[in-house]
Structure 1
Amino acid sequence: MNKATFRELISNKILILDGATGTQLQKKGMPTGVCPEQWVYENPDVIKSIQKEYIESGSNIIYTCTFGGNRIKLDEFGIGDRTVELNRCLAKYSKEAAGDKCLVAGDLASTGRFIKPLGDMDFEDCVNIYKEQVKGLLEGGVDLFVIETMLDIQEARAALIAVKESCDLPVCVSMSFDENFRTLTGTDPITALITLQSLGADVVGCNCSTGPVQMLKIISMMKPYAKVPLMAKPNAGLPKLINGKTTFDMKPEEFGSYIKEFIDAGVNLLGGCCGTSPDYIKQIYLESRNLKPAVVSSEPYSAITSCRKTEFFGLNKPVAIVGERINPTGKKQLQAELREGSTHEIRKFAAEQVEKGANILDVNVGMPGIDEKATMLNTVSLLSSIIDAPLCLDSSSPEVLEAALRIYPGRALINSISQEKVKLEKLLPVAAKYGAMFILLPLSDEGVPEKAEQRKVIVENVFAKAAEFGYQKNDVVVDGLVMTVSANQEAAAETLKLIDWCSKEFGCGTIVGLSNVSFGLPERSWVNAAFLAMAISKGLTMAIANPSSELLMNIKMACDVITMNDVNSKSYISYFGSQPKPTAGEVRIQAQDKKIGDRIFDAVLNGDTEIIGTLIEKALEEKVSARDIVDNHLIPAINQVGKYFDEKKYFLPQLIQSAETMKKGFTFVEPLLKEAVTAEEKEVVIIMATVKGDIHDIGKNIVALMLRNYGFIVHDLGKDVSAETIIDKAKSLNAHIIGLSALMTTTMVEMREVIKLAKEQNLNCKFMIGGAVVDADYAKEIGADGYSKDAYEAVKLAKRLSE
């Protein structure tokens, strides 16, 4: 099916998806603990019968049984070399079940591993893993693709790129969000939507993790910004354990009562996830058969994203500040660090600029004597994990920008594309491929036009070319291209004319690099600030500047009020109502004057693994004791990180980076301590395992990593582990705590069996449980000593249980 036909189909009717597959397979005889893809391959009639039931109930699209069909998951069963074959055959089974009654979507899901720097997998390796699976599904004849239950926006991007680079079939991407409307790695629904639709997803939505009520809220958040149709596959409410069996608390009729609300909220594709049998899909059909899908439309907006934040800007909005400091020009210390491969100065500049009010960070690492491409990739990877602000990727090399766009986990802004032949021919198609916004620089191969009228012609020419790639005016920001007034006093006036034309006639955002206007003059800050105020009065929407300039930021905040772009002066009041902010010079002095212990604290807080060793060595040289470093600096820092995580100021990437930094710090001081330093001043041994029948381990792996980084002795038994194996290992290691994980409603009952066996064998240890399908009430019901909802909660629980 081509994309145009698919779009027409979606616009005319509500498309009904299928429901849960795993639970239906188990009802029809699939044993726990087996590879679902292999079992279905060997029992084709079972999956065909299930899918025919869904079709008879009203499904217009069924998913192939390939949720775990990527090489990484199949390797866990020793059959990774059969990836293409299994996906091809399972796709054919679904096509046979579908006949001409419905469409078949090739199903891709998580690999269970994280991409660097959060995990150990290279981005390109992840793309290739998905391409292999896509190859098999294409050979099996799928009509479209669905990327579902994604917990990490970067992995979702990798899967989407894999499909786009393999075929032209429609592709839908569905993320899973928690009760705080965040994915596991901290992405909110609006950010996920804008990132994925910009990258080329034909449909975006959510599935799993929640029932209809919570999912309706997520869809309502997405709808105002959706330029593509939306999809939803909620669970059948919440799982309950009744008479030893997992059931969901929402019956088909109640599930069906929410269908009209979903359609009114903007959903065009609707199905069910955990707990939804064909009876639930029948209810969707009955409730939606006389309803029409909402029109896909949104008010024009300009926005770029990081993996955790969306930054809106443009006409009638406050001026966005693009921090200019991450640029080696004129910065000897940064130049030296870039040559050495160090990132300390980049970290500092990033943190300072965001603290001072930068909305976006410009990243330029171009300089002689380094590999610019490798340096840019390392910098983008680092900043994406430690800073929420979106990035403006700045390079004169199309190759460098293409590489950076590919791995950037959001929608980036490119600086810049001009009428120069190489930029139009090489960079514009790349920008369009990755859905980036771009700064339009009004210059050509002939150079920089002096007059605004000449620049207008270039702007129109470049945009006309960009429109061929689907760009709209709100996707482009025109650089006013201000030249220094010390050389040409008319330069600023010509730039102001162009800004005025862009905002009032052409209808797009504008940006200027403020420092250019004052070059060669004394007391440059006054010229920069005056020009900023004049440009804002003409409609300027963005400025590349140093946010540490108090004069500049004060003028910007005041102008936002006067131009009525700061509604009710809220930002102005907040900005000036806070404590006085030090200047950039004061920040540097303060950082240098900080005591060594405070700098160790900051390194852990900021996840700076590069500098922590140097700081601890310096502290030891200054006769700070190892015990003092641990008790008064490392431990308090990681506790503060945990507090930020609880308050949702930090998310999983920052949590892991800080924990890794603390762990590295321990390696320097531990040999100097009289006894091993652990979280509770004793060796607390913890057994971790995903219970029998369950092959999901990503959450358990994160918990194990965090526990180790807090000093616990962790033995990870893996997934699909029997009760007997868990108890035997706990006995042999004299474990203090056993941590159990389950992600499936059908396997959560195995937790009870482990605890029961432990009691029968008089094993004296504590139990903690976790996983998407369990909660504190379930922990009490099965006799566990505690439940944790995430990795940091698991650390706190382990500390309590080991007292």
Structure 2
Amino acid sequence: MNKKDFLDFLNQNILILDGATGTELQKRGMPGGVCPEMWVIENPDVIMDIQKDYINAGSNAVYTCTFGGNRIKLSEFGLGDKVVEINKKLAQLSRKAAGEKGLVAGDLAPTGRFVRPFGDMPFEEAVDVYKEQVKGLLEGGVDFFVIETMMDIQEARAALLAVKESCDLPVCVSMTFDESGRTLTGTDSVSALIILQSLGADVVGCNCSTGPQDMIKIIREMKPYAKVPLLAKPNAGLPKLIDGKTRFDMEPEEFGSYIKEFVEAGVNLLGGCCGTSPVYIEQIRKNIEGLKPIPPQPKEICAVASARKTVFVDANEPVVVVGERINPTGKKKLQEELRQGMTSLVRQFAVEQVEKGADILDVNVGMPGIDEKETMVKVVELLSSITDAPLCLDSSSPEVLEAALRIYPGRALINSISAEKVKIEKLLPIAAKYGAAFILLPLGDAGVPKSAGERCKIVEEVFNEASKWGYTKKDVIVDGLVMTVSADQEAAVETLKVIEWCTQSFGCGTIVGLSNVSFGMPERAWINSAFLAMAIGYGLTMAILNPSSDTLMSIKMASDVLKVKDRNSKKYIEHFAALKSDKPQVVEKKDTASPVEKVYDAVVKGDRENIRKYIDDALKDGTEPSIIVDKYLIPAITHVGDLYDRKEYFLPQLIQSAETMKEAFGILEPLLKKEPVDEKGNKVKVILATVKGDIHDIGKNIVGLMLRNYGFEVYDLGKDVSAEEIVKKAKETNAPIIGLSALMTTTMLEMREVVSLVRQEGLNAKIMIGGAVVNADYAKEIGADGYSEDAYGAVKLASKLAGI
């Protein structure tokens, strides 16, 4: 199916998707612990009957049974060399089942590993993994693609690029959000939408994790900014254990009662996830009759996003501050660090600028003596992990910009594209491919036009070219190109005219770099400050400046109040309260932080690169190893946990801090015993396993990583582990804690079997459980000693159960 026909259908109709596949397969005989994809190939009639039932119930499309059909998942069953073959056969089965009545969606799902910068899998490896699967699905004749149940925006981007670089079929991307409205790696629904639709997703949405009521809220959050149709596949409520069997608590009729509300919220594609069956799809069909979808009607506003935050640029929004300090020009220390492959100053500049109020960080690493592309990629990966601020990628090299855009887990701003022939021909296609917004520099091959009129003419010329690549005026930010008034006293006035024209007539955002205007003049700060205030008055929406300048930031805050962009003067009040209370501490921290204080900060900020130096300095300074651990390392990682609990930190920051903590303990190991230890001074042992019949292990793997980084000795038995194997290992190691994981409603019952056998064998081990389908009530019901909803909670629970 071509994209036009697909989108035309969605503008007029609600596309009904199918429901759950895994639970239906198990109902019809698929045993636990097998490879679902291969079992279906060996028992083709089962999947065909299920998908025919969905079509007959009202589904317009069914998903291929390829959720675990990628190389990484199939390799766990020794089938990694049969990816194309397996996906082709499964697509053909769905094609036959759907017949002429239904469409077939090629299903791509998580690999079970996190992609850089949030994990260890190289981005291109992830793209290649998905391309291999896409090849098989294309050969099998799918009509479109669905990338589903994504917890990591970077993995979703890799899968999306894999599809787009393989074919022109429509592609939908569906993220999974927790009760806080964020993915496991911290991406909120609006940022996910901005990133994915900019990168070329034809449909964006959500599935799994929640029931209809919570998912409707996510759709409502997305709709005002959605340029594409929206998809929803909620669970049938929450899982509960009833009469020894796992059931979801929402009956089909109640599920169907939410359908009208979904459509009114803005859904264009609707189906079911965990716990749903053809009966639930029939309820969608019945309740959807007579309803029409709401076409995308997005707000006309420029949005730039990181993996965890969206910044809006508009005349009605506060002036956006772009921090300018990550630039080696005139910074000898930064130049030397970059040549050595170090990033300490980049990290410092980023954190300081964000703390001072930068909304976006400009990133420029161009200088002689380095590989600019390699350095830019390294810096972009670092900044993507340590700060929520979106990035403005600043380079004149098309190769550098493409490398950075490809791996950036957000929607970046490019600085800049001009009317110069090489920029138009090489940069516009790159920017469009990755969906970046860009700064338009009104200069051509002949140089910088002196008058505002000539600059405005170039703006129109460049935009006309950009519009051919799908750009709107709201995707473009015009640089007013301020020149120095010491050489031409009319320079500032001409720039202000450009800003006014862009705001009042052309209809796009504007930006200026302040430092040029005062070059060569005495007391430059006054000229810069006055020019900023004047530019804001003419409609300026963004400014490139040093946010450490209290004067410039104060003028920006005051201007937002006077132009009614800061409701109730909230940001203004916060800004001046911080100036009065924080400034002495900031100066003291910067100038006189002791080595052990730097150790603490390194753990909190996940600065693994410098932790060894800080510990060495602390030891040379006479601080005892035990003091470093007890007074600085442990309080630091505890603070990180608190930040995580408050949703100020997310999984990437948590892992970075834990890795830094692990590095620190490794350095100190010859000098002290690691925590945590039992009463005999031995490290506390923990056995981890995903229970029998369950092949999902990403959550367990994260828990294992965190426990190790906190000093526990972990025995990870893997997935699909029987109760007998778990008990055998517990006896062998005498481990005081057993951790069990289950992600499937059909396998959570196996946890009870493990608890029962542990007690039957007379072991004193404490048992903790976790996983998407279980909760604290279930832990009590089966006799477990505790439940944790996330990795850091598991560390706290293990410490409590071990009595440390």
Q: Structure 2 length as normaliser, TM-score? A: 0.99
**d(CA) in 1 for partners of 2:275 and 2:676?**
42
Please tell me the residue identity of whatever aligns with 1:99: G
* 1:244-286 Cα distance to aligned partner (Å, 9 max, x none): 2111111100100000000010001000000101000000000
Provide the residue aligned with 1:228 in structure 2. 228
Please tell me the residue identity of whatever aligns with 1:542: M
Matches within 5 A, 1:75-90: 75-90=75-90
- Offset at 1:486? 1.1
**d(CA) in 2 for partners of 1:725 and 1:627?**
38
Is the 8 Å Cα contact of residues 626 and 670 (structure 1) preserved in structure 2? no
**d(CA) in 2 for partners of 1:106 and 1:625?**
59
Provide the residue aligned with 1:798 in structure 2. 798
Aligned to 1:580, what secondary structure does the other structure show? helix
**d(CA) in 2 for partners of 1:469 and 1:586?**
49
> Residues 192 and 369 from structure 1, CA distance in 2 versus in 1: closer, same or farther, beyond 3 angstroms?
same
Is the 8 Å Cα contact of residues 202 and 229 (structure 2) preserved in structure 1? yes
> Residues 299 and 677 from structure 1, CA distance in 2 versus in 1: closer, same or farther, beyond 3 angstroms?
closer
Provide the residue aligned with 1:678 in structure 2. 676
Please tell me the residue identity of whatever aligns with 2:559: C
**d(CA) in 2 for partners of 1:218 and 1:278?**
24
- Offset at 1:521? 1.7
Provide the residue aligned with 1:219 in structure 2. 219
Matches within 5 A, 1:287-366: 287-366=287-366
- Offset at 1:524? 1.3
Aligned to 1:688, what secondary structure does the other structure show? strand
Please tell me the residue identity of whatever aligns with 1:700: K
Provide the residue aligned with 2:117 in structure 1. 117
**d(CA) in 2 for partners of 1:678 and 1:422?**
59
Provide the residue aligned with 2:380 in structure 1. 380
- Offset at 1:679? 6.2
Provide the residue aligned with 1:608 in structure 2. 607
Please tell me the residue identity of whatever aligns with 2:798: A
1:569 to 2:534 alignment: no
* 1:596-643 Cα distance to aligned partner (Å, 9 max, x none): 211110010000001100010111111110000000000000000000
Please tell me the residue identity of whatever aligns with 2:532: L
Is the 8 Å Cα contact of residues 194 and 225 (structure 1) preserved in structure 2? yes
Provide the residue aligned with 1:650 in structure 2. 649
Provide the residue aligned with 1:767 in structure 2. 767
**d(CA) in 2 for partners of 1:252 and 1:20?**
13
**d(CA) in 1 for partners of 2:604 and 2:520?**
40
Provide the residue aligned with 1:627 in structure 2. 626
- Offset at 1:115? 1.0
Aligned to 2:609, what secondary structure does the other structure show? helix
Provide the residue aligned with 2:785 in structure 1. 785
1:400 to 2:400 alignment: yes
Is the 8 Å Cα contact of residues 439 and 477 (structure 1) preserved in structure 2? yes
Provide the residue aligned with 2:279 in structure 1. 279
Aligned to 1:578, what secondary structure does the other structure show? helix
**d(CA) in 2 for partners of 1:724 and 1:160?**
42
Provide the residue aligned with 2:57 in structure 1. 57
Provide the residue aligned with 1:258 in structure 2. 258
Provide the residue aligned with 1:533 in structure 2. 533
**d(CA) in 2 for partners of 1:134 and 1:677?**
46
- Offset at 1:669? 1.2
1:2 to 2:2 alignment: yes
Is the 8 Å Cα contact of residues 619 and 625 (structure 2) preserved in structure 1? yes
- Offset at 1:568? 2.8
- Offset at 1:587? 4.4
1:471 to 2:483 alignment: no
Provide the residue aligned with 2:556 in structure 1. 556
* Aligned length, in residue pairs: 801
* 1:200-253 Cα distance to aligned partner (Å, 9 max, x none): 111111000010111111111111111111110000011111122111111100
Provide the residue aligned with 1:98 in structure 2. 98
Provide the residue aligned with 1:492 in structure 2. 492
Structure 2 residue ranges without an equivalent (≥5): none
Is the 8 Å Cα contact of residues 723 and 757 (structure 2) preserved in structure 1? yes
Please tell me the residue identity of whatever aligns with 2:128: N
* 1:96-146 Cα distance to aligned partner (Å, 9 max, x none): 011110100000000000112332110000000000000000000000000
Aligned to 1:173, what secondary structure does the other structure show? strand
**d(CA) in 2 for partners of 1:210 and 1:116?**
27
**d(CA) in 2 for partners of 1:156 and 1:798?**
32
Is the 8 Å Cα contact of residues 607 and 661 (structure 1) preserved in structure 2? yes
Provide the residue aligned with 1:660 in structure 2. 659
Provide the residue aligned with 2:596 in structure 1. 597
Please tell me the residue identity of whatever aligns with 1:2: N
Aligned to 2:701, what secondary structure does the other structure show? helix
1:641 to 2:643 alignment: no
Aligned to 1:662, what secondary structure does the other structure show? helix
- Offset at 1:159? 0.3
Is the 8 Å Cα contact of residues 117 and 384 (structure 2) preserved in structure 1? no
**d(CA) in 1 for partners of 2:618 and 2:562?**
51
Aligned to 1:168, what secondary structure does the other structure show? coil
Provide the residue aligned with 1:206 in structure 2. 206
Provide the residue aligned with 1:38 in structure 2. 38
> Residues 596 and 433 from structure 1, CA distance in 2 versus in 1: closer, same or farther, beyond 3 angstroms?
same
Provide the residue aligned with 1:739 in structure 2. 739
**d(CA) in 1 for partners of 2:674 and 2:49?**
59
**d(CA) in 2 for partners of 1:202 and 1:241?**
38
- Offset at 1:581? 6.4
**d(CA) in 1 for partners of 2:456 and 2:214?**
48
* 1:18-39 Cα distance to aligned partner (Å, 9 max, x none): 0000000011111101000000
Aligned to 1:711, what secondary structure does the other structure show? coil
- Offset at 1:560? 1.2
**d(CA) in 1 for partners of 2:390 and 2:802?**
41
Aligned to 1:610, what secondary structure does the other structure show? coil
**d(CA) in 2 for partners of 1:700 and 1:614?**
33
For the aligned residue pairs, the C-alpha RMSD in angstroms reads: 1.1
**d(CA) in 2 for partners of 1:501 and 1:679?**
68
Provide the residue aligned with 1:516 in structure 2. 516
> Residues 679 and 572 from structure 1, CA distance in 2 versus in 1: closer, same or farther, beyond 3 angstroms?
farther
Is the 8 Å Cα contact of residues 679 and 799 (structure 1) preserved in structure 2? no
- Offset at 1:590? 3.2
1:501 to 2:501 alignment: yes
Aligned to 1:104, what secondary structure does the other structure show? strand
**d(CA) in 1 for partners of 2:298 and 2:568?**
25
Is the 8 Å Cα contact of residues 675 and 710 (structure 2) preserved in structure 1? no
- Offset at 1:455? 0.5
Aligned to 2:205, what secondary structure does the other structure show? strand
1:143 to 2:119 alignment: no
Please tell me the residue identity of whatever aligns with 2:792: Y
Structure 1 residue ranges without an equivalent (≥5): none
**d(CA) in 2 for partners of 1:581 and 1:183?**
35
Please tell me the residue identity of whatever aligns with 1:379: V
Please tell me the residue identity of whatever aligns with 1:609: R
Matches within 5 A, 1:165-204: 165-204=165-204
- Offset at 1:678? 2.9
- Offset at 1:435? 0.6
Please tell me the residue identity of whatever aligns with 1:519: F
- Offset at 1:574? 2.2
> Residues 588 and 611 from structure 1, CA distance in 2 versus in 1: closer, same or farther, beyond 3 angstroms?
farther
**d(CA) in 1 for partners of 2:458 and 2:668?**
61
Please tell me the residue identity of whatever aligns with 2:409: P
Is the 8 Å Cα contact of residues 679 and 710 (structure 1) preserved in structure 2? no
**d(CA) in 1 for partners of 2:168 and 2:401?**
24
